[in-house]
Amino acid sequence: MGSRTASAVSPTYCKDIEALLRSHANQEAAEAMSAYMRGLFPFLGIRTPERTSLTKQFMKANGVPSGEALERVVRELWATPEREFHYTAMILMEKRKKELRPEDASLLEFMVTTNSWWDTVDLIASHLVGTLFAKHPEMVAPYTKKWMDEADNLWLRRTAILFQLGYKSKTDVPLLFDLIRRTAHEEDFFIRKAIGWALREYGKSDAAAVKQFVAGTELSRLSVSEALKHIGS
């Protein structure tokens, strides 16, 4: 039998994938994985290679939802406590990222601001938000302004800094540098790390510009160290 089309996705899609993953739970591994994440989330204890394989098999047999069905599935998985379900939701979104529409921004904001930690936010920022904004550049200015000025959420600010990670020479450099200047005073580790990471990635396209920016901007030691890790001072 071939794979189902997106339009034929079962109404029990979430329950089916939940049952599949729960059948492979490993309590000992779950405790170690939760401890690694500072106890913020419960885990089933499924290692990444096994979880990825299970998810691929499930998608091959059951298809990948799209549009409103995808949003429903993602929100349902996101509401399930164990972290593996959040990772699975991101895999489904990744499969449909080329179909992202401006109206999907609210779903991405929900994913960034709910069950927030670096292990989900960074992929959402660089893969999903980055893809959406590349397709719809008119969204960049209003959303970065909203996330920086109105939301008061560090994960949205981190997303604003990181969404251009894969843009390379297409990076909006004035915007990147402006966002960094506006957050450089923040003491939060995740903001400082994001600043350094974003600069390091852009440095692969223009090392001289990054060195000049770092030299002329008051940044934390962590940000500077990360930014110049492969460039040198």
What is the 8-class DSSP label of residue 120? H
Paired tokens of 199: 């600069």
* Distance (Å, whole) CA 82 – CA 119: 14
Q: Which of left, alpha, beta for 232 (phi over 0: left; psi -120 to 50: alpha)?
A: left
Angle at 53 between CA 47 and CA 59, to 5 degrees: 130
Do residues 228 and 191 lie in contact, with contact meaning Cβ atoms separated by under 8 Å? no
What is the 8-class DSSP label of residue 104? G
Q: Which of left, alpha, beta for 100 (phi over 0: left; psi -120 to 50: alpha)?
A: beta
Q: Which residues of the chain have pLDDT under 50?
A: 1-7
Per-residue pLDDT of 82-141, as tens digits, reads: 999 999 999 999 999 999 999 999 999 999 999 999 999 999 999 999 999 999 999 999
**pLDDT at residue 6 in the model:** 47
**pLDDT at residue 4 in the model:** 42
